[in-house]
Amino acid sequence: MKIQSKAVHAGDRRKPIGQVPVTTPIFSSSSFIADTTEELDQILGVEAPGFCYARYDNPTNFALEELVTELEGGAGALACASGMSAIQVAITAALLDRRKSIVAANALYGATIKLMMNVMAPFGVEVRFVDICDLEAVQAAIGEEKPGCVVMETISNPLLRVGSISKVAELTRAVGGALIVDNTFATPLLVRPLEVGAAMSVHSATKYLAGHGDVLGGLVVSDADHAPIVRSLSRTYGPVLGPFESYLTMRGVKTFPLRVERQCNNACRVAQFMATHPQISRVYFPGDPAHPDAKTIAGMFPQGLFGAMVSFELKDAGRAEVFAFMDRLKMVVRATSLGDVHTMALYPAIASHRDVSPKQRQRMGITDGLVRLSVGIEDVNDIIDDLAQALG
């Protein structure tokens, strides 16, 4: 073999030798070689396990998917390039052989609303929004629409409402539909939607699962009926996560129960502080005994764990006052995400719900004085001190 050929081939494609690595390594290869063409044919035809092409599967991604499948109690998972690609895959999988109709919670992440209204509706998908916490309204909407799928969030963004997943799932199954739950805010530590009847549980892996602000990714965890469909869709149009991002997400997942438990505890303290501050007119927090969905929360969440999101309204505030408050924050990070180890503040009107019209935001209850806080793992007294000085 000439040096030009050695430079291309030497050292690669060796079978693993010796001990198994403790941490799954990053497999950055775009394709994989089988021992024989017959074996490759079987892998390509999904008749035998193995890897052949990174759009279909990758060992690093596979390890992350196996991990999250276990966490959620599912039958299979797909690691996607973003949370939005994950929700699109889930909805497409649900509607593939069903009526092209969606009943969706009227309180959702702004980009999810935009996906359904601006992308799916023009292709003939009917979309109807309903208060997911009003079971009579949900039953009526599902009965009238007979939707292919219902879409909801475990904890709604940004007003932190909590609908009954088990009851909505029962209503959805009764008409042959599939329930899709965005479980990003709750994480599998608090709620596992598939265990109470959902067909698919979706995550923005960018948030609590990866948890360190260094990954963009999404995950779809499916039941046995939908896992093959999700995988087949992925093989066709390839919304897959890169192996390096899968590695980082898997690393983050190893500590997510510790982080989220700390964040939940900190959020309780922060919510209590905000509820007594004279510059705050209202606090939204699932742990509030007066929360409108307190009964559902008590039956669905582990004791003492209510998530790490706290939303609040500044008294008599609009855009200028909110901007001034956020600019006075010193430790709390002003950024468009959540679930990181550091506490983060976001103004929904310019970020998560920027693409929702002002009138629709008002109908959703998102006022111009609303701020969303993602509580981190810092010392809670430092978080409170920073909020206190910024409030004045």
d(CA 245, CA 83): 13
d(CA 296, CA 151): 18
DSSP 380-391: HHHHHHHHHHHH
Distances (CA, A) of 86 to 80, 95, 189, 319: 6, 14, 20, 32
What tens digit of pLDDT does each residue of 60-89 get? 999 999 999 999 999 999 999 999 999 999
Contacts of 146 (CB under 8 A, 6+ apart): 99, 101, 175, 176, 177
Domains for the chain: give ranges and CATH numbers: 37-253 (3.40.640.10), 257-391 (3.90.1150.10)
Of 87, 107, 228, whose CA–CA distance to 157 is shortest? 107
What tens digit of pLDDT does each residue of 36-55 get? 999 999 999 999 999 999 99
What tens digit of pLDDT does each residue of 334-353 get? 999 999 999 999 999 988 88
What tens digit of pLDDT does each residue of 132-156 get? 999 999 999 999 999 999 999 999 9
pLDDT at 315: 96
pLDDT at 109: 94
Of 265, 255, 271, whose CA–CA distance to 303 is shortest? 265
Just list the catalytic residues: 55, 109, 182, 207
Coil vs helix vs strand at 134: coil
Check the CA dihedral 67-71-77-78 and report its sign.
Answer: negative
pLDDT at 7: 60
Helix axes 380-391 and 319-328, enclosed angle (nearest 10): 130
Of 272, 389, 379, 271, whose CA–CA distance to 330 is shortest? 389
